[in-house]
Structure 1
Amino acid sequence: MDATTILAATVDGTYPLLRPATYDIVWSAVCFAIIAFALGKYALPVFTKILDERTAKIEAGLNFADEAKAMAETAAVEQEQLLREARAEAAHVRDSARNEATAIVAEARAKAAAEAERVLEAAQRQIDAERQAAAVTLRADVGTLATELASKIVGESLEDVARQSRVVDRFLDELEASALTTAKEK
């Protein structure tokens, strides 16, 4: 059959052009029903199961991501808290060290001052002792010289210890009195 014959047959009504034959519709419906039943019975549950598993995996992944995000936020908050605590502890340690250093310096200064005071007192005692020793030596020497001089001036011997002591004491008292009046005048 060529195209003109099919076209001519359609025009005179033997072959309907737009409507298929009834047996084609029936057999197509039977094949469709068998395929639909087979797909619905065997393939559709498998597809549904696969899609449900995939949905469950996606939801589990989303839940895991949410949990991971929450854990990350919690970890970030804890890290910030630890960082603040570490900074506060570091500041406390610095302050403690600074205070301890100040206390050590103050203690060292106090020890140095006490040592200096002790050395100064020892030196002052030594100076006083030397001054007294010098005064005693000077008094004895002056006494001896005064006795000899007085013996020469008076012409009599002053060998008597009591007399010698009185003469020396009187001479030294007069010498001190004249030294005080000279110091007051200046």
Structure 2
Amino acid sequence: MIGTDVILAAGEGANPLVPNWWEVLVTAVGFAVLMFIVVKFIAPALEKSYQDRVDAIEGGLEKAEKAQAEANAMMADYQQQLQDARVEANRIREEARTEGAQILAEFKEKAAAESARMTEQAQAQIAAERQQAVSSLRSEVGTLATSLAGKIVGESLDDDARSQRVVDRFLADLERSESARTTSAGAAE
């Protein structure tokens, strides 16, 4: 009970509703010192930190806007280049088609010319071989006909002029009969 006696002794003469002016003065001085420290040191530091953060955010936004603008410009440039590349590719493709068609036409023309040349050459070769075969056949048929005629007649037909006439007449008769047979076979069809 000692603690309650001290409180009663100190508080008997004081009114609890009236403040103690010394306590108010000490509290006011402490508050003023604390306020001075806050206003002089802490508030400027907080204000500087706040301003730095605002500047960083605004600077970041400006950078982001610049980067966005650059990105949009680059995108537009890229799309233009892409469009130009597509146009160029289409032009090159059309040129290649045109050149391909031209080359194909040239190859066809060359092939046709080569074919005509080969056909002409083959016909000339066939004509030459035919002429050679006819000449060789005439010679052999002539020799055989002369020999056969000599055996039939019983005398030698060594006279070249006479034997040549006989051979020519024989071959002419043979050709006439062959063409008559071909004509009659064509008419029968």
What is the TM-score of this pair, normalised by structure 1? 0.64
Contact kept? 2:146, 2:163, Cα under 8 Å: yes
Q: Secondary structure at the match of 2:127?
A: helix
> What letter matches 1:32 in structure 2?
F
Residue 173 of structure 1, CA deviation: 1.9
Count of aligned pairs: 183
In the other structure, the counterpart of 1:180 is 179
Contact kept? 2:157, 2:163, Cα under 8 Å: no
In the other structure, the counterpart of 1:45 is 44
Identity fraction in percent = 40
In the other structure, the counterpart of 2:62 is 63
Instruction: Report the CA distance shift for 1:24/1:157 in structure 2 as closer, same or farther (over 3 A).
Output: closer
In the other structure, the counterpart of 1:153 is 153
In the other structure, the counterpart of 2:123 is 124
Q: After the TM superposition, which of the residue ranges 98-107 and 55-64 deviates more from structure 2?
A: 98-107
Instruction: Report the CA distance shift for 1:64/1:170 in structure 2 as closer, same or farther (over 3 A).
Output: same
Runs of at least 5 residues in structure 1 that lack an aligned partner in the other structure: none
Deviation per CA, 1:142-178, whole angstroms, max 9, x where unpaired? Answer: 33444445555396857262x4444333322221111
Q: Distance in 1 between matches of 2:18 and 2:102?
A: 112
Deviation per CA, 1:118-151, whole angstroms, max 9, x where unpaired? Answer: 4444333222211101111222333344444555
Runs of at least 5 residues in structure 2 that lack an aligned partner in the other structure: none
In the other structure, the counterpart of 1:137 is 136
Contact kept? 2:146, 2:167, Cα under 8 Å: yes
What is the TM-score of this pair, normalised by structure 2? 0.63
